[in-house]
Amino acid sequence: MATKVNSEIEKKLAEFRRPLTVGEVAERAGVAVSTLHFYEAEGLITSWRNSGNQRRYAREVLRRVSVIKVAQRTGIPLKEIQEALATLPEKRTPTTEDWKKLSARWRGQLNERIERLTRLRDQLDGCIGCGCLSVDSCPLRNPGDRLGQEGAGARLLEIPGSVVRGQ
Amino acid sequence: MATKVNSEIEKKLAEFRRPLTVGEVAERAGVAVSTLHFYEAEGLITSWRNSGNQRRYAREVLRRVSVIKVAQRTGIPLKEIQEALATLPEKRTPTTEDWKKLSARWRGQLNERIERLTRLRDQLDGCIGCGCLSVDSCPLRNPGDRLGQEGAGARLLEIPGSVVRGQ
DNA sequence: GTAGAACCTCAAGTAAACTTGAGGTCAAGA
DNA sequence: TCTTGACCTCAAGTTTACTTGAGGTTCTAC
């Protein structure tokens, strides 16, 4: 009897530990299969291959993908996310502590973004309609923080060239 | 004597009304010349040509460019900025009231973005390090607002395909 | 054992917002 | 007049984060 119960438990354990296919990861993580291919190529996640050359994933990858998406929503570019993830231990499965460090790292950036946007909103209220926008002293026209303004998109657009040489 | 003073004043007025070249606009607005070409091609600003086919700008363009840049920093994509600017009167020079309408329109969006980021930060604090990230009930993994998340970059990245079919 | 779903690779395409380059014209000062 | 800097056009390149497509293999269930 006991052996029967044990084998049941083992079955479940085995199922739980069973590696995931790309399709499964895509489904559960809510991303496209092509995205997983892409993340792997960029070194954000890893996998191994089965005998037929198909990708297999450890369950841990689900959390990784979640973290990637959360970080992206805060406006952090993939490259930075990759760097942050690279600080996670490779040998052992990352612990709660490991993840918390990442969280702390990103929380600061998020706060900065929020502050910048808040300042911008306050200035927008007072500034955009008035005459000062056409004058050099307007805070909107000459923001102190000219680099790394806004998320991946805007950051890309404001660093190279135009802003460096002007503004 | 009076005529001399008058001619001085007229000189200054003429100087003030003198149309600007691309180079001048670029310098004063803090953008690259190529950016102005680009904005013009996209219908964000206008110019006329002199006899030698060079662009000339009304001074008003400086304010327009400022507004464009401010709007961009709030995370509004150029296309939307173009649409908003298109609501400005073409015949007369836009008044303070005209600009205020734009400001109001964008302030709402800015507020939304700030709120979303703030929620995200609060969730990040409680969530990323805990176990719930791997579970479907985690707010970070299943944010209620899946569309139009974040600025131009992220919005682009989250609308098409992957998210629609998953998450 | 075979159909059909799922997977593989690699190249190319997409979107936004510009920049860079080539090849040529225009304007202002010595 | 001549040189040099500022302009012009148009095509192509850049970055991020993926997606799409073509052409081919593997898995799974009947």
Tens digit of pLDDT for each residue in B5-50?
555 555 555 566 789 999 999 999 999 999 999 999 999 999 999 9
* More confident site: A144 or B81: B81
pLDDT for B96 equals: 83
Give the pLDDT of residue A107.
Answer: 87
pLDDT the model gives residue A13: 58
Q: Specify the pLDDT at position A97.
A: 83
Q: Which residues 6+ apart lie within 8 Å of A11 measured at CB? A: none
Q: Are A158 and B18 in contact (CB under 8 A)?
A: no
A35: CB within 7 A of chain D nucleic strand: yes
CB-to-strand D under 7 Å, chain B 19-58: 21-24, 26, 33, 37, 53-55
Contacts of B147 (CB under 8 A, 6+ apart): B158, B159, B163
Show the low-confidence residues of chain A (pLDDT under 70): 1-16, 126-167
User: B98-138, pLDDT tens digit by residue?
Assistant: 888 888 888 888 888 888 888 888 877 766 656 555 445 55
Q: What is the pLDDT of residue A91?
A: 81
Q: Which two tokens stand for residue A24?
A: 């499964």
Residue type, B104: A
Quickly tell me which residue has 């079955």 as its tokens: A11
For A114, the closest of B118, B129, B149 (CB atoms) is: B118
Average pLDDT over residues B154-165: 27
Residue with tokens 């003429």: B14
Find the CB nearest B166 among A31, A99, A141: A31
Measure the N-to-C terminal CA separation of chain B; round to a whole number of Å.
79
Least confident of A12-16, B81-85, B86-90: A12-16
Contact flag B67-A128 (C-beta cutoff 8 Å): yes
What does the CA dihedral B73, B75, B78, B82 come to, rounded to 10 degrees?
A: -90
Structure-block tokens of residue B70: 């401010």
Element at A55 (helix H, strand E): strand A55-56
Asked if the model's pLDDT at residue B157 lies above 60, the reply is no
Query: Helix or strand or coil: residue A42?
Result: coil
Contact of A34 with A26, CB cutoff 8 Å: no
B49-74 mean pLDDT: 93
Q: Give me the CA B52–C1' D2 separation in Å, rounded.
A: 19
> How close B92 comes to chain A (CA, Å)?
16
Tell which residue, B117, B121, B120, B113, has the closest CA to residue B142. Answer: B120
- For residues B39 and B68, give the distance between their C-alpha atoms in angstroms, rounded to a whole number: 10
Phi and psi of B146, rounded to 5°? -90, -15
A60: tokens are 């841990």
Q: For chain A, how many residues are written?
A: 167
- Say if residues A62 and A28 touch (Cβ distance below 8 Å): yes
Of B26, B129, B165, the CB nearest to A103: B129
* pLDDT value at residue A130: 60
CA–C1' gap, B55 and C22, in angstroms: 21
Rounded, the Å distance between the CA of B161 and C1' of D20 is 11
Q: Choosing among A35, A124, A155, which should be mutated to test the B contact, i.e. which has the most B CBs within 10 A?
A: A124
Q: Do B130 and A96 touch (CB under 8 A)?
A: yes
Which pLDDT score is estimated for B16? Answer: 66
Q: Label the pairing between strands A48-49 and A55-56.
A: antiparallel
CB nearest to B110's CB, from A31, A117, A141? A117
Q: Say which residue, B150 or B124, is predicted with more confidence.
A: B124
* Contacting B residues, span 37-56, partner chain A, CB-CB under 8 Å: none
Q: What are the chain B neighbours of A23 within 8 Å (beta carbons)?
A: none
Q: How far is A144 from chain B (nearest CA, A)?
A: 13
Residue B139, pLDDT score = 58
Tell me the C-alpha distance between A3 and B21, whole Å: 88
